[in-house]
Structure 1
Amino acid sequence: MRILLIGLVLLFAACSQPPTREDAARASRPAPPPIRHVVAVHRGTELLHIINYLARVYGPPVRDYDYRNEVDAWFGHLREHPAVVHARTLPYNDFAELGWALEWPGPRVVEPEGFGHLGLIKDEAYLRDYLRLAVEFAQVSDFEGFFAAHEADYARWVAQFETRLAAVDPLTPLADLYGTGLDKTLYFSISPLGVVLKANIVIDEVAPRHAGYGPILVPFDPRFLPEGPTDAARFDYADMPLANAVWHEATHIALEQFAHGQRDVLKDIDYADDFSRQFKVFDDPRLDTYFFVHEVLADAVAIHLKGERFGADAAETHLAQNEAMGGVLYRPVVTHLRERYAPGRATRDFRAHLPTLAAFISSVDDGAR
């Protein structure tokens, strides 16, 4: 009884303390604007997913499910079409972001102004030929007929994802962490044949007329579902996988906005460990650094928010997985976000904090230099 009374006294005393300066600043600062979003199946990316699937650039994580079987039945006779043959030289990245260069009715190609970092992985002439051949494939295969025949499926999957997005609400804590709004509307691109969860950060060059969107490709992946194996495509994803996907990929979109005018801050980071040295995609090592840090920061944000929303154990499991792959930088960055950036919403501004983050990463002793 005495312990209970002491607890009540302490609780009352804590509640009756005068507000601090930080409390006042937090109360006076308006909440950041909500992050806008839409959910849809994008014709262009779905067309390229089908071509890449036929080319065996990748394979969906489920061997046998309804939508994949219907793709096989409709398009399987076109495995030697020039577009499919052309796609076979693609690397691990399926380049489905290029689908935003296609317009309907048609389809027709609106020639991209550029290809961003994708044009540094594959020759731009190859990519332009790829888009031209994709149009021919769409016409020969009656892709529009296939798409129309699945409109009800697409609508159901969009509704599933939208419902779960509203229930989990990962965008509100993300906006609060950034401390500022996003210039783009996030476009969650449901991809029933997709495999790679990723953000489209080349849209400003590939399709500048759609630069108001920040597309995020969301594949059908049974590992994201709340229960076991399925033979039907579904997008009613479980809370934690959905939130993690949104936090990580949306941060890639946000970082492109926040890095505008200060990309050299990230490219000039002086850090290298065994994990980062495996990240050799470009001829320019500064670009390798930029995209390596991009990945670390996106996952660090997801891990930090996972700890706040789902508990310390969930964040620790995620960190341990990254460290098992050799990613020793994640823990220091997550700790920095947790201790140096996240406290005090009144002063949060992720863009303004980027130079501090960059300096911190350069100061981390990786033990492998």
Structure 2
Amino acid sequence: MSLRRASVVALLLVAGCAPTAPPDEPADVPEPRIGHVVAVHPGTELLHVINYLARVYAPPVRDYDYRRAVDAWFGHMREHPAVVHARALPYNDFADLGWALEWPGPRLVEPEGFSHLGRIKDDDTLREYLRLAVAFAQDADFAGFFAAHEADYARWVAEFEARLRAVDPLTPLADFYGTGLDKTLYFSISPLGVVLKANIVIDEVAPRHAGYGPILVPFDPRFLSEGPTTAARFDYTDVALSNAVWHEATHIALEQFADGQRELLMDIEYADALSRQFVVFDEPRLDTYFFVHEVLSDAVAIHLKGVHFGDALAEEHLAQNEAMGGALYRPVVTHFRTTYAPRRTERDFRAHLPALAAFIDGLPTDACE
């Protein structure tokens, strides 16, 4: 009970009246929270192994003990049909499809669809990719390899979990959104992965796991260090970890916040030097959607970086984006600082999305100063 309410109750008792709650006292509102788990997902790691052998996107996987173990166990499988098939992929982000595989096994549960990944490679190609991945896992005894490295996985999971708890990037993120998330973030430690990314296709690829919002956490060589036994360990700084979480979690959040109002983002008419390079799909509106998705995710990270780590780091981040032709980042960050954040308790991120879309749509093309 608050001090104010306790005082009111005491006065009523002295006066001989039955205590009643003051009509103007607001009800307690729970703080928004974002739940999470940390694990190594076998399905995504299987596809990372296949993509690594196929040299999809020529991933710069660091030379450390785990990679050498992969080479020793799977090196003879470089011409397996799954590996040959994977070489036709444009990049290795398709590891998200590993959530269609169930364990023990693997056993393929046919996806209902592939979301935007099906616009990049046709569905038949992706279904065959998964079927061949199951055959690869059986032929190469992937389950045996995975079991042999459970101690490594547990150590890396514990290291990342400890860093999450120490830095606590999710609390300020939930406060910025003004709401929690429908999904539990699943930080998927990927010892052979090289792309930090959010999985926003899980609802179609594996709807039975739609309660999760997976974020692939690769062993990026920039954020690893090796001890005397050449055992890699996480070495994320507070800033690097926070930036990664704020950016990727916002991709997950935007899918929730845009539900029912996705057209607002797809219909934005805006262009700059960076957006003109963002051509992935045959449908321009889809390119716009994912371009805005990327800008908003990084703008949230930049805004929070300024709040929690200082304006100098936020300005450095903005300058890097502007050097790539990204003129939209600065006005969006300024909008967060001056318009959204001061009134966030009145209108959370989802409720503010129409105003944010209108703000971007009203900016002059190639002239976002």
- TM-score (normalizing by structure 1): 0.89
Give the AA of the match of 2:306: G
Match of 1:82 in 2: 81
The residue type equivalent to 1:312 in the other structure is D
Mapping of 1:121-140 within 5 angstroms? 121-140=120-139
- Residue 152 (structure 1) aligned with residue 151 (structure 2): yes
Cα deviation for residue 58 of structure 1 reads 3.1
In structure 1, what is the Cα distance between the partners aligned to 2:138 and 2:114? Answer: 24
Amino acid at match of 2:209: H
Structure 2 counterpart SS, 1:187:
strand
**One-letter amino acid of the counterpart of residue 185, structure 1:** T
Q: How does 1:254-293 map to 2 (within 5 A)?
A: 254-293=253-292
Deviations 1:139-177 (A, max 9, x none): 000000100000000000000000000000000000000
CA distance in 1, matches of 2:155, 2:44: 18
**Compared CA separation, residues 271 and 178, structure 1 to 2 (3 A):** same
**Distance in 2 (alpha carbons) for counterparts of 1:245 and 1:226:** 18
Q: Name the SS of the counterpart of 1:91 in structure 2.
A: coil
> Partner of 1:67 in structure 2?
66
CA contact (8 A) 2:226 2:233 kept: no
Choose 27-36 or 259-268, whichever is displaced more: 27-36
Please report how far the alpha carbon of residue 125 of structure 1 lies from its aligned counterpart in structure 2 after TM superposition. 0.2
For 1:190, what is the secondary structure of its paired residue? strand
Contact 2:273 2:366 in 1 (8 A): no
Offset at residue 235 of structure 1 (A): 2.3
Report what 1:11 is aligned to: none
Shift of 1:199: 0.3
Stretches of structure 1 lacking an aligned partner (at least 5 in a row): 1-24
Judged with a 3 Å threshold, the aligned counterparts in structure 2 of structure 1 residues 227 and 143 are, in CA distance, closer, same or farther, namely closer
CA contact (8 A) 1:252 1:294 kept: yes
Give the distance between the partners of 2:196 and 2:41, measured in 1 at CA: 15
Task: Quote the residue 1:347 is aligned against.
Answer: 346
Matched, 1:336 2:335: yes
Q: Report if the CA contact (8 A) 2:184-2:211 is conserved.
A: yes
Residues 316, 28 of structure 1: alpha-carbon distance in 2 compared, 3 angstrom cutoff: farther
Q: Is the Cα–Cα contact under 8 Å of residues 267 and 285 in structure 2 kept in the other structure?
A: yes
State the alpha-carbon separation in 1 of the partners of residues 35 and 362 from structure 2. Answer: 36
- Call closer, same or farther: CA 1:231–1:332 in 2, change over 3 Å: farther
1:199 matched residue in structure 2: 198
Determine the structure 2 residue equivalent to 1:4: none
Once the two structures are TM-superposed, the CA of residue 184 in structure 1 deviates from its matched residue by: 0.2
Post-superposition shift, 1:221? Answer: 1.3
What one-letter code is carried by the residue in structure 2 that aligns with 1:351?
R
Q: What CA deviation, in whole Å up to 9, does each residue of 1:268-323 have, x standing for no partner?
A: 00101121011111111000000000000000000000011110011011101101
Shift of 1:346: 2.1
How many Å separate the matches in 2 of 1:287 and 1:367? 20
How far apart, CA to CA, are the structure 1 residues paired with 2:244 and 2:59? 18
Q: How does 1:172-191 map to 2 (within 5 A)?
A: 172-191=171-190
Give, as a single letter, the amino acid of the residue that structure 2 aligns with 1:290. Y
Q: Distance in 2 between matches of 1:317 and 1:189?
A: 29
How far 1:62 moved relative to its partner? 4.6
**CA distance in 2: counterparts of 1:345 and 1:289, whole angstroms:** 26
Contact (CA 8 Å) 1:216, 1:250: kept in 2 or not? yes
The answer (yes or no) to whether the contact 1:184–1:214 under 8 Å persists in 2 is: yes
Moved more, 55-64 or 241-250: 55-64
Say whether the 8 Å CA contact 2:33–2:179 is kept in structure 1.
no
Say how many residue pairs are matched: 345
In structure 2, give the amino acid aligned to 1:305. L
1:80 counterpart SS class: coil
Question: Residue in 1 aligned with 2:210?
Answer: 211
Distance 2:93 2:345 in 1: 41
Q: What is the Cα-based RMSD across aligned positions, in Å?
A: 2.1
What is the one-letter code of the residue matched to 1:266? L
Q: Distance in 1 between matches of 2:48 and 2:174?
A: 31
Name the SS for the 2:232 alignment partner. Answer: coil
Q: What is the CA distance between 1:225 and its match in structure 2?
A: 4.8
CA distance in 1, matches of 2:147, 2:262: 42
User: Where in structure 2 are there 5+ consecutive unaligned residues?
Assistant: 1-23
Q: How does 1:31-110 map to 2 (within 5 A)?
A: 31-110=30-109
